[in-house]
Amino acid sequence: MTHWTAPASQGPIRATVRLPGSKSLSARALHLAAIASGPSRLHGVLDSRDTRLFAAGLEALGAVLSPVGRDPLSVTPLDGEREGSASIDCGLAGTVMRFLPPLAALSAAPARFDGDSAARERPLAPLLAALEDLGARISFEGAPGRLPFTIRGPLRVPECGWVEVDAGESSQFLSALLLTVPLLDAPLEVRAPGRLVSAPHIEMTVAALVRRGCRIERIAAEPHSAWRVEPGRPAPLDEVIEPDLSNAGPFLAAAMVCGGEVRIPDWPEATTQAGDAWRRILTAMGARCEREGAGLVLRGPEADALTGIDIDMSDIGELAPSLAAICACAKTPSRLRGIAHLRGHETDRLKALASGLRAAGARVVEHDDGLEIAPGPLKPAAHRAWGDHRMATFAAILGLRAPGTTLDDVAATSKTLPDFPELWRACVSSGRSA
Ligand SMILES: O=C(O)C1=C[C@@H](OP(=O)(O)O)[C@@H](O)[C@H](O)C1
Ligand SMILES: C=C(OP(=O)(O)O)C(=O)O
């Protein structure tokens, strides 16, 4: 635990923040390189706890990778039948605990998955049930459908030619299947009945497969979504990973609540990242967002011109903690909807956000699937990160406007942004030198 006092605003922000690679794009690039038909070189892979655990998991399953942090990172794919048991530490990473079990189950050799104690609370059952339908055998050490468990394959396409997964709690269940089933020896239809969440992340998965020559086609839309996947290894690809636009959130938030402007270099012109939605959301709340060269510049609203928002976030749930902190600083109330699935994130984020916002002076109604936030005069509070990177950055944003705000564990940001404390201090102190 690294106790931290959040730096308070020094005046309008004038910062350029160069962000490391996207967690979600890094995981997909590593995964697909590890099952490709030849070696790949990846540029700009995020170096953080989640991606290190992801890479270590791939190595446990037989791929050979240069250390995360080396640029470019080379990946020699796994080859042939894995022998001997594997042990995979998921930490608190949804990508590791969801994307790697299907890959492990390609082999008859056992693979044991475990993670942080909070990871044992995160939902997995619908994915594991789908893997059992594809022939996996899974033994649970504790509660069924949770970590820790041991999985054995091999997976095979059932006679019916389809498998169903309920992805209403997490898009990662669906992405996990789509990322591995091209390695099965027959076409498979992957069905996901019902409401989907985090649609951009599903599009990101499909786009990553298509870029590597995989044949995948969406054959039905919500509420009976289905994809047909043809067998075939992905082609190797040398790829440059885009900056993490979700992690741009706290820095853009700094200009929203303190005024001034923040520049993010290399903001992609077209992307499947959920974080691209910041431009639309923050413009609706009073900012001006413009492209400038290859980057994005956000000019925060004038004092008193930051308005609240009523928004369905089912597609972009990972932006909710930063947005909730901005809403607490707005002039008018906000409503965040469609995010019941945040209760299965690193912590129950709706509960954690409601309590953090109340401690900071807002009035909050916690609904099953969202939050109503009525801003009040902000006050300093002792916030908890709950091991959650986005709860840590939520506290940092509130601290800008409430001097004396503390956080029990700023090191939680190492999940996706280990340099957060330094980047944040530089961003905030740009106000003083402006
Ligand atoms: O596939 C991915 O890389 C992710 C999918 C989303 O998960 P959920 O659909 O569980 O929200 C997102 O929130 C998470 O941060 C990353
Ligand atoms: C939900 C998140 O992460 P994970 O990949 O662990 O699900 C997140 O980063 O907001």
Active-site position among 169, 318, 346, 372: 318
pLDDT of residue 163: 98
Instruction: Report yes or no: 177 and 103 within 8 Å, Cβ to Cβ.
Output: no
Tell me, what's the ipTM?
A: 0.99
pLDDT of residue 431: 76
> Is any atom of ligand 2 closer than 6 Å to the C-beta of 413?
no
Which ligand lies nearest the alpha carbon of 321? Answer: 2
> Is any atom of ligand 2 closer than 6 Å to the C-beta of 49?
no
pLDDT of residue 190: 98
Structure tokens given for 260: 């001034």
> Is any atom of ligand 2 closer than 6 Å to the C-beta of 318?
yes
Work out which ligand 2 atom sits closest to the CA atom of 390.
10
Q: What is the Cα–Cα distance from 177 to 130, expressed in whole angstroms?
A: 9
> Is any atom of ligand 2 closer than 6 Å to the C-beta of 21?
no
pLDDT of residue 304: 87
Work out which ligand 2 atom sits closest to the CA atom of 97.
6
pLDDT of residue 124: 98
> Is any atom of ligand 1 closer than 6 Å to the C-beta of 247?
no
Residue 97 CA, ligand 2 centroid: distance in Å: 11
- 318 included as an active-site residue: yes
Burial 178-214 (b: 16+ CB within 10 A, else e): bbbbbbbeebbbbbbbeebbbbbbbbbbbbbbeebeb
CA neighbor of 274 nearest in space, from 202, 179, 377, 346: 202
For the chain, list residues with pLDDT below 50. none
pLDDT of residue 41: 98
- 94 has binding-site annotation: yes
pLDDT of residue 208: 98
Residue 245 CA, ligand 2 centroid: distance in Å: 13
pLDDT (tens digit per residue) in 108-150: 999 999 999 999 999 999 999 999 999 999 999 999 999 999 9
